[in-house]
């Protein structure tokens, strides 16, 4: 079921950033995560300032 949460996170990024927010992502299931989390989402963003 991780893919459902990841899909929602992907949609949120796209909703906030529009076409600029298009990205690649991966959903991987594991038996256990630290602190009993059910999903871990990691992201790296690069921003620019237009003057």
Longest CA–CA separation in the chain, Å: 47
- Model confidence pLDDT, tens digit, residues 9-47: 899 999 998 888 888 888 777 888 888 887 888 888 887
Determine the pLDDT at residue 11.
93
Determine the pLDDT at residue 16.
92
Determine the pLDDT at residue 41.
84
Determine the pLDDT at residue 46.
81
Q: How many domains does the chain have?
A: 1
Spell out the residues 6+ positions from residue 43 whose beta carbon is closer than 8 angstroms to its own: 13
Residue 13: how many CB atoms within 10 A of its CB? Answer: 18
Determine the pLDDT at residue 12.
93
Look up the domain containing 34 and give its range.
1-51
What secondary structure does DSSP assign to 20-31, as a single string?
GG---------S
Alpha-carbon span 45 to 25, nearest angstrom: 13
pTM (2 d.p.): 0.66
């Amino acid at each position: 079921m991780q893919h459902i949460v990841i899909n929602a996170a992907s949609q949120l990024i796209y909703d906030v950033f529009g076409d600029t927010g298009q990205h690649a992502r991966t959903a991987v299931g594991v038996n256990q995560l630290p602190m009993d989390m059910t999903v871990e989402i990691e992201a790296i963003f690069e921003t620019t300032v237009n003057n």
